[in-house]
Structure 1
Amino acid sequence: MRIEGSAYVVDISRSQALKKNEAAAPQQVQGARPAARVLSFDRVELSPQVREMQKLKGEMESLPEVRLDRVALAKQQVQNGGYRVEPTLLAQKMMDAYKTR
Structure 2
Amino acid sequence: MRAVLLTDLRDAARALLAQPASERPGLSARMINEAIWADLHVRRTGRAHPLWGNGTLSDAARKRVLATEPTLDDAGYCDCLTLVLLGLRDRPGRVDPPL
Normalising by the smaller structure, the TM-score range is: under 0.3
Larger radius of gyration: 1
Q: Which has more helix, going by share of residues? A: 2
Could you state the TM-score of these two structures normalised by the residue count of structure 1? 0.22
Q: Which has more strand, going by share of residues? A: 1
Select the structure with the greater relative contact order (CA < 8 A; seq sep ≥ 6): 2
